[in-house]
Amino acid sequence: MEGHYTYLTSLGIHDANTQKIVTSVVFSLALLLIGSKSAKVLARRRALRGEHEGAIPEEKITTSGLFDFFIESFVAFQDSILGKENRKYLPVTGTVFLYVLVLNIVGLIPGVPAATTSVWTTVPVALFIFISFNYYGIKEHGVVHYFKHFLGPVWWLAWFILPLELFGTVLRILTLNLRLYWNISADHLVLGIFTDLVPYLVPVIFFALGTFVCFMQAFVPTVLTMIYIMLATSHEEGTEQHQH
């Protein structure tokens, strides 16, 4: 939960937006460090157990087992949208989910600024998604063929379809930003109000609800990222039939 006093106030950082930016940077670096260390540990552990033994589930619940379960579930979900042949996009979709989820959840901790209630955090996320799906679309189709998609199926209506398609695509930056910003802001506002009114019992319920909201507000932009990549990289049926 975001309060008036945070762990950065004692360091002389009093501006709310600056605190949120610093928090997003700190936890971004922490995610990179933990991710790189975890990958090395898991790779070393699997190598020691052997290739065949690594495929056998562990008898006890372990951190690595839970991590593997999470990864497998996430991969299976993306496969249901993009297909197994498009697992190359996992680094992007996984990054969006983990980054937003972690920043959402740590914002529930008393004394930690809610980074995703600042446009200085949410807009870069929206821009990252926007740049990613356009990059993959251009990489898949080439610059000329990718931008032909914005002209529509009828050439003589291109003058009308083009600005609409471009506007709708660019508008995704705004909708992604506002969806995350306002939902998380509303959640923290409600949690803050009830925490001040009833500081012991009721907040437990809203912390649980807030955790669910944090998950959903990481899940939704991740699903939208997958859908945008699918739309940007998909081939028209007529083009595929012509190629075959």
DSSP state of 15: -
At residue 163's C-alpha, the angle toward residues 162 and 164, to 5°, is 90
Predicted pLDDT of residue 226: 96
User: Which is more confidently placed, 211 or 155?
Assistant: 211
| Separation CA 221–CA 176 (nearest Å) | 7
Mean pLDDT over residues 43-68, rounded? 61
User: Among 123, 96, 109, 104, which Cα is nearest to 224's?
Assistant: 96
Q: Where exactly are the structural domains of the chain?
A: 9-243
Binning pLDDT at 50, 70 and 90, where does residue 243 land? very low
| Separation CA 78–CA 93 (nearest Å) | 9
Supply the Cα-derived Rg of the chain in whole angstroms: 22
Predicted pLDDT of residue 3: 44
9-28: per-residue pLDDT in tens? 767 777 888 888 888 988 88
168-196: per-residue pLDDT in tens? 999 999 999 998 888 888 877 777 676 66
| Separation CA 134–CA 173 (nearest Å) | 12
Predicted pLDDT of residue 240: 41
* Average pLDDT taken over every residue of the chain: 81
Asked if 50 contacts 187 with a C-beta cutoff of 8 angstroms, the reply is no
- At 198 the three-state DSSP class reads coil
Q: Read off the tokens for 183.
A: 């939902």
Predicted pLDDT of residue 2: 45
Residue 54 has pLDDT above 60, yes or no: no
